[in-house]
Amino acid sequence: MLTTFAELKAFWHYEILGEDKRFSWRKLRRRVARNNSYNCLFWLRLSQYLHSRPGRTTLSMAKRINKGLARKYGVEIMLGAQIDKGLWLGHPTAITVYSGVRIGRDCNLRQCTTIGSVEANNKPIELGHNVDIGAHCCIIGSGIRIGNNVRIGAMSFINKDVPDDVTYITRKDNHIYPNRTQHDARVD
Protein backbone atom coordinates (compact mmCIF):
# COMPACT_ATOMS: atom_id res chain seq x y z
CA MET A 1 0.00 0.00 0.00
CA LEU A 2 1.12 3.53 -0.73
CA THR A 3 1.36 5.33 2.60
CA THR A 4 3.88 8.14 2.02
CA PHE A 5 4.32 10.68 -0.74
CA ALA A 6 7.88 9.40 -1.27
CA GLU A 7 6.47 5.93 -2.04
CA LEU A 8 3.93 7.44 -4.45
CA LYS A 9 6.69 9.33 -6.24
CA ALA A 10 8.81 6.15 -6.40
CA PHE A 11 5.89 4.26 -7.97
CA TRP A 12 5.41 6.98 -10.58
CA HIS A 13 9.16 6.99 -11.25
CA TYR A 14 9.28 3.22 -11.74
CA GLU A 15 6.04 2.79 -13.71
CA ILE A 16 5.83 5.93 -15.82
CA LEU A 17 9.32 7.34 -16.27
CA GLY A 18 11.37 4.17 -15.89
CA GLU A 19 13.61 3.49 -12.93
CA ASP A 20 16.82 3.95 -14.93
CA LYS A 21 15.93 7.57 -15.82
CA ARG A 22 16.21 10.61 -13.57
CA PHE A 23 12.93 11.78 -12.03
CA SER A 24 11.51 14.99 -13.44
CA TRP A 25 8.08 16.50 -12.76
CA ARG A 26 8.07 17.96 -16.28
CA LYS A 27 8.74 14.56 -17.91
CA LEU A 28 6.12 12.94 -15.69
CA ARG A 29 3.51 15.53 -16.66
CA ARG A 30 4.37 15.20 -20.37
CA ARG A 31 4.15 11.39 -20.36
CA VAL A 32 0.89 11.42 -18.44
CA ALA A 33 -0.62 13.90 -20.90
CA ARG A 34 0.47 11.99 -24.01
CA ASN A 35 -0.23 8.36 -23.12
CA ASN A 36 -3.51 6.86 -21.88
CA SER A 37 -1.77 4.01 -20.02
CA TYR A 38 0.46 6.42 -18.11
CA ASN A 39 -2.47 8.74 -17.46
CA CYS A 40 -4.52 5.90 -16.02
CA LEU A 41 -1.59 4.68 -13.87
CA PHE A 42 -0.89 8.18 -12.57
CA TRP A 43 -4.46 8.70 -11.36
CA LEU A 44 -4.82 5.12 -10.09
CA ARG A 45 -1.72 5.44 -7.92
CA LEU A 46 -2.81 8.86 -6.67
CA SER A 47 -6.21 7.45 -5.67
CA GLN A 48 -4.53 4.52 -3.87
CA TYR A 49 -2.29 6.95 -1.99
CA LEU A 50 -5.24 9.15 -0.98
CA HIS A 51 -7.21 6.06 0.09
CA SER A 52 -4.43 5.10 2.53
CA ARG A 53 -4.40 8.56 4.14
CA PRO A 54 -6.58 9.27 7.18
CA GLY A 55 -9.59 11.54 6.89
CA ARG A 56 -12.91 11.73 5.10
CA THR A 57 -11.75 14.38 2.63
CA THR A 58 -8.89 12.30 1.21
CA LEU A 59 -11.11 9.21 1.08
CA SER A 60 -13.75 11.18 -0.80
CA MET A 61 -11.10 12.46 -3.26
CA ALA A 62 -9.80 8.91 -3.78
CA LYS A 63 -13.28 7.63 -4.55
CA ARG A 64 -13.94 10.50 -6.94
CA ILE A 65 -10.69 9.81 -8.84
CA ASN A 66 -11.49 6.09 -8.97
CA LYS A 67 -14.97 6.79 -10.37
CA GLY A 68 -13.41 9.09 -12.95
CA LEU A 69 -11.12 6.27 -14.11
CA ALA A 70 -14.14 4.00 -14.44
CA ARG A 71 -15.99 6.57 -16.54
CA LYS A 72 -13.06 7.62 -18.73
CA TYR A 73 -11.33 4.28 -19.31
CA GLY A 74 -13.65 1.60 -17.96
CA VAL A 75 -10.92 0.65 -15.47
CA GLU A 76 -12.38 -0.42 -12.14
CA ILE A 77 -9.50 -1.27 -9.86
CA MET A 78 -11.07 -1.12 -6.41
CA LEU A 79 -9.33 1.00 -3.81
CA GLY A 80 -8.60 -1.90 -1.45
CA ALA A 81 -6.57 -3.84 -4.05
CA GLN A 82 -2.92 -4.20 -3.03
CA ILE A 83 -0.77 -3.72 -6.13
CA ASP A 84 3.02 -3.62 -5.93
CA LYS A 85 5.36 -1.58 -8.15
CA GLY A 86 5.53 -2.17 -11.86
CA LEU A 87 1.87 -2.40 -12.85
CA TRP A 88 1.39 -1.94 -16.58
CA LEU A 89 -2.00 -1.46 -18.22
CA GLY A 90 -1.33 -2.14 -21.90
CA HIS A 91 -4.67 -0.82 -23.10
CA PRO A 92 -6.60 0.63 -20.16
CA THR A 93 -10.04 -0.49 -21.25
CA ALA A 94 -12.53 -2.71 -19.37
CA ILE A 95 -10.14 -3.85 -16.64
CA THR A 96 -11.80 -4.91 -13.38
CA VAL A 97 -9.90 -5.84 -10.21
CA TYR A 98 -11.82 -6.31 -6.97
CA SER A 99 -10.59 -5.04 -3.62
CA GLY A 100 -9.42 -8.40 -2.24
CA VAL A 101 -6.63 -8.88 -4.78
CA ARG A 102 -2.89 -8.82 -4.04
CA ILE A 103 -0.67 -8.30 -7.07
CA GLY A 104 3.13 -8.61 -6.97
CA ARG A 105 5.80 -6.62 -8.77
CA ASP A 106 5.84 -6.10 -12.54
CA CYS A 107 2.36 -7.27 -13.46
CA ASN A 108 1.01 -6.64 -16.96
CA LEU A 109 -2.78 -6.40 -17.35
CA ARG A 110 -4.23 -6.11 -20.82
CA GLN A 111 -7.67 -4.96 -21.94
CA CYS A 112 -10.89 -6.67 -20.87
CA THR A 113 -9.36 -8.48 -17.91
CA THR A 114 -11.39 -9.38 -14.84
CA ILE A 115 -9.85 -10.46 -11.54
CA GLY A 116 -12.47 -10.97 -8.90
CA SER A 117 -14.35 -13.06 -6.45
CA VAL A 118 -17.70 -14.70 -6.86
CA GLU A 119 -18.83 -13.67 -3.39
CA ALA A 120 -17.89 -10.89 -1.00
CA ASN A 121 -15.58 -11.59 1.98
CA ASN A 122 -13.74 -14.45 0.31
CA LYS A 123 -10.05 -15.24 0.62
CA PRO A 124 -7.90 -12.88 -1.47
CA ILE A 125 -6.67 -13.72 -4.95
CA GLU A 126 -2.87 -13.48 -5.06
CA LEU A 127 -0.79 -12.88 -8.17
CA GLY A 128 2.97 -13.33 -7.85
CA HIS A 129 5.77 -11.27 -9.35
CA ASN A 130 6.25 -10.96 -13.14
CA VAL A 131 2.76 -12.08 -14.11
CA ASP A 132 1.73 -11.27 -17.69
CA ILE A 133 -2.02 -11.53 -18.33
CA GLY A 134 -3.32 -11.58 -21.90
CA ALA A 135 -6.39 -9.80 -23.22
CA HIS A 136 -9.92 -10.94 -22.32
CA CYS A 137 -8.84 -13.08 -19.34
CA CYS A 138 -11.02 -13.92 -16.40
CA ILE A 139 -9.64 -14.94 -12.98
CA ILE A 140 -12.58 -15.71 -10.72
CA GLY A 141 -12.66 -17.52 -7.39
CA SER A 142 -11.63 -17.44 -3.76
CA GLY A 143 -8.11 -17.93 -2.46
CA ILE A 144 -6.58 -18.47 -5.90
CA ARG A 145 -2.81 -18.13 -6.12
CA ILE A 146 -1.06 -17.37 -9.40
CA GLY A 147 2.68 -18.07 -9.07
CA ASN A 148 5.71 -16.00 -10.02
CA ASN A 149 6.86 -15.67 -13.65
CA VAL A 150 3.52 -16.79 -15.10
CA ARG A 151 2.22 -15.93 -18.55
CA ILE A 152 -1.54 -16.24 -19.05
CA GLY A 153 -2.73 -16.53 -22.63
CA ALA A 154 -5.46 -14.41 -24.14
CA MET A 155 -9.07 -15.41 -23.44
CA SER A 156 -8.09 -17.72 -20.58
CA PHE A 157 -10.40 -18.59 -17.71
CA ILE A 158 -8.77 -19.38 -14.36
CA ASN A 159 -10.60 -20.67 -11.30
CA LYS A 160 -7.81 -22.63 -9.57
CA ASP A 161 -4.17 -22.16 -8.58
CA VAL A 162 -1.42 -21.78 -11.18
CA PRO A 163 2.16 -22.82 -10.21
CA ASP A 164 5.32 -20.76 -10.72
CA ASP A 165 7.18 -20.49 -14.04
CA VAL A 166 4.44 -21.67 -16.42
CA THR A 167 2.44 -20.45 -19.38
CA TYR A 168 -1.28 -21.01 -18.84
CA ILE A 169 -3.77 -21.16 -21.68
CA THR A 170 -7.37 -22.28 -21.81
CA ARG A 171 -7.85 -24.68 -24.65
CA LYS A 172 -10.53 -23.64 -27.05
CA ASP A 173 -11.71 -26.10 -29.67
CA ASN A 174 -13.34 -24.94 -32.85
CA HIS A 175 -15.84 -27.22 -34.52
CA ILE A 176 -16.99 -26.50 -38.03
CA TYR A 177 -20.04 -28.28 -39.38
CA PRO A 178 -21.34 -27.86 -42.91
CA ASN A 179 -24.71 -26.20 -43.29
CA ARG A 180 -27.54 -28.46 -44.34
CA THR A 181 -29.21 -27.46 -47.58
CA GLN A 182 -32.87 -27.99 -48.41
CA HIS A 183 -31.90 -30.86 -50.71
CA ASP A 184 -30.02 -32.63 -47.83
CA ALA A 185 -33.03 -32.21 -45.55
CA ARG A 186 -35.36 -33.90 -48.08
CA VAL A 187 -33.03 -36.88 -48.51
CA ASP A 188 -33.03 -37.65 -44.78
Sign of CA pseudo-dihedral 36, 39, 43, 46: positive
pTM: 0.86
Domain ranges of the chain: 5-168
pLDDT digits (tens, 9 = 90+) for 141-173: 989 999 999 999 999 999 999 999 999 999 887
Sign of CA pseudo-dihedral 149, 105, 82, 93: negative
CB atoms within 10 A of CB 164: 13
* Best CATH choice for the domain 5-168 from the list 2.20.25.570, 2.160.10.10, 3.40.50.2300, 3.40.190.10: 2.160.10.10
> What is the reported pLDDT for 187?
58
Residues 1 and 166: their CA atoms lie apart, in Å, by 28
pLDDT digits (tens, 9 = 90+) for 41-51: 999 999 999 99
The residues near 115 (Cβ < 8 Å, ≥ 6 apart) are 96, 97, 98, 101, 125, 127, 139
pLDDT digits (tens, 9 = 90+) for 18-28: 988 899 999 99
Sheet strands (E) in 40-98: 75-77, 82-83, 88-89, 95-97
Task: Report yes or no: 105 and 131 within 8 Å, Cβ to Cβ.
Answer: no
